[in-house]
Amino acid sequence: MQFNKPLEVGTLRQRYKRFLADIEFANQPQSIETVHCPNTGAMTGCAEPGYKVWCSVSDNPKRKYAKTWELAQNFADEWIVINTQRANQVAGEALAHGVIPELNDFTVWQAEQRYGEQNSRIDWLGQSTEGRQCYVEVKSVTLVEQQCGYFPDTVSARAIKHVQELEYMRAQGHRAVMLYVCMHSGADQIKPAAHIDPKYANACIKAAKNGVEFYALNTEISEQGIRANGVLPIVLGDE
């Protein structure tokens, strides 16, 4: 995906109240502006004061905060995608362009479809020419420790629910996929975060044994855009 307009660059001063961040923009030095932070997670390692950041600007006059925090660069010069909504866009493009060879049987992809026992909404639903269906749940990975990306970055009952919904769809005879989109340039593999949410990690192990597929996308991140450029290995359990 490409950003529609050039992003504005600045320096992060603080992130607070989950949805807000104060940024000093390069074109307005000594002036702090509040922007929308589209990330409800813990954002561990993603929001340190002093990080270089990039924001998109909305033309909607009704918005309280015109700017949205999109990207950050940490003190190791690693890129991080802050806007979690970008993960679905990147995943959709990757699925359409066959970045994950195991899913190339599915030629039509629809976003945000209702499914499952709990009336959830799947991120991407694939259809094959033979009429098979593939349910893909997308997760944005930004927590990186020692070059390993972890999900989730906080305890998440909702994330466990999504794993269980995929397991149910697999039991109905469909393909079911958990797709992690690594939105951090410092990771070379992905793991469920057992040290943060062991119940989620155990749910993933159980789902994999029951046929749920796990894949991870590596991404190329810049102020021009974000694109999947391959896959990363996934480690489930202690293997």
The domain spans of the chain are 8-81, 85-232
> What are the pLDDT digits (tens) for 3-28?
999 999 999 999 999 999 999 999 88
Q: Give yes or no for a contact between 142 and 183, defined as CB atoms under 8 angstroms apart.
A: yes
Please state, in angstroms and as integers, the Cα–Cα distance from residue 184 to each residue in 105, 160, 221, following that order: 29, 23, 8
Regions of the chain with pLDDT less than 50: none
> What are the pLDDT digits (tens) for 139-151?
999 999 999 999 9
> What are the pLDDT digits (tens) for 46-68?
999 999 999 999 999 999 999 99
Which listed CATH number (3.40.50.970, 2.10.70.10, 3.40.50.1970, 2.40.50.580) goes with 8-81? 2.40.50.580
What does the angle CA 151 – CA 221 – CA 7 come to, to the nearest 5 degrees? 115
CA dist., res. 139 & res. 182, Å (int): 8
Q: Does domain 85-232 have CATH number 3.90.700.10?
A: no
Beta strands in 185-225 (DSSP E): 189-192, 213-221
Q: Give yes or no for a contact between 187 and 152, defined as CB atoms under 8 angstroms apart.
A: no
